[in-house]
Amino acid sequence: MLNAFLANFKKSWIEFKRYYFNTVSNLATFLIFFYLIFFGVKAIGGSTVNFTDTLEGIIVGYFMWMMFIFSFQGVAWGIIDEAQRGTLEQVFASPIGFEYQMLFRMISDFVFNVLFAVPLMYFVAYTTGKRLSFDLGTLLYLLVVGTLSALGIGMILGGIALVFKRISSFIQIVTIGSLGFTMFDLSKLWYRFLPMSQAAHLMRRLALEGFRFRQFTISDHLILWLVALVYLIAGVVVFRGFEKRAMTSGTLGQY
């Protein structure tokens, strides 16, 4: 297990370093998209919007959305890339279960994504005149638990990719649609059971009110963990269903 984790961590580092132009381009794209949202809200809202509070919510929600799509796209695109390279069956032949391989990859990608995304969040806050202060332990807690639901979504998309091969358009639909999950006003309880919504809600309280781990209610923690585990388990179950179908039809390694 340890060797498998270290191998996946090394693989993530090599790809971040070797394909640095693509990494920088992705970060630039997310930065530009944020400023489009920022100036769009400012232009539309004008003086009728309490922009000070709105901007903090936008920064936090957008950051959580970045982490969400980095996580689920990493799993889905990872499976698609393995199929295109012709190495997918080799990964399945490993003595380490495929689900664990995906988990190790998500952890590795998560570390590098945080190293890039956190400074980026502070950068956009600084350039828009805001000052964000977080308790680091609480921040990492919300990110880790929140992205478990993203892993579940990624496993579902990866399973679909095993059977249907090309699902890039569908991944883009999920990517854009997921922006709403982190921007909802959670006045209704059921909104909190959407992927990443509860994590984004608690992140806003962390950013705006200075909340820490111990200040969240028991129900806040329970909903956060329940959502994460439900989507993670659902993702593994759905993935195994598609995996079984691909193996039965003999199309696992085909592209």
131-164: per-residue pLDDT in tens?
666 677 887 888 888 888 888 888 888 888 888 8
Query: CA separation (Å) from 215 to 135, 138, 204?
Result: 12, 10, 13
State the sign of the Cα–Cα–Cα–Cα dihedral 237, 241, 242, 243: positive
- pLDDT of amino acid 153: 86
- For the cut 80, the answer to whether the pLDDT of residue 173 exceeds it is yes
List the chain domain ranges.
Answer: 2-249
Average pLDDT over residues 42-54: 53
Tens-place pLDDT, residues 69-109: 877 777 778 877 877 777 777 877 888 877 778 778 877 88
Burial of 119 (0-12, 13-18, 19+ CB in 10 A): exposed
What pLDDT is recorded for position 41?
66
45 vs 149, more confident: 149
Which pLDDT does position 222 carry in this prediction?
A: 92
Which phi-psi region, left, alpha or beta, contains residue 220 (left: φ > 0; alpha: ψ -120 to 50)?
A: alpha
What pLDDT sits at residue 47?
Answer: 47
Residues 6 or more apart in contact with residue 155 via CB below 8 angstroms = 75, 99, 102, 232, 235, 236, 238, 239
- The answer to whether residue 237 scores a pLDDT higher than 60 is yes
Nearest alpha carbon to residue 2 among 141, 107, 155: 107
Q: Would you place residue 49 in the very low, low, confident or very high pLDDT band (cuts 50, 70, 90)?
A: very low
**With bands split at pLDDT 50, 70 and 90, how would you rate the model's confidence at 234?**
very high
The pLDDT confidence band at residue 53, using thresholds 50, 70 and 90, is low
Cα–Cα distance list, 12 to 78, 108, 110, 139, 224 (Å): 11, 6, 10, 23, 28
Is pLDDT above 50 for 51? no
Report the percentage of the chain scoring pLDDT > 90: 4
Burial profile 70-98: b = 16 or more Cβ within 10 angstroms, e = fewer: bbbbbbbbbbbebbeeeebeeebeeeeeb
Q: Mean pLDDT score of the chain, rounded to an integer?
A: 79
pLDDT, residue 81, reads 80
* CA atoms in the 13 A half-sphere facing the CB of 169: 2
pLDDT for 174-195, tens place per residue?
Answer: 887 777 666 666 566 667 778 7
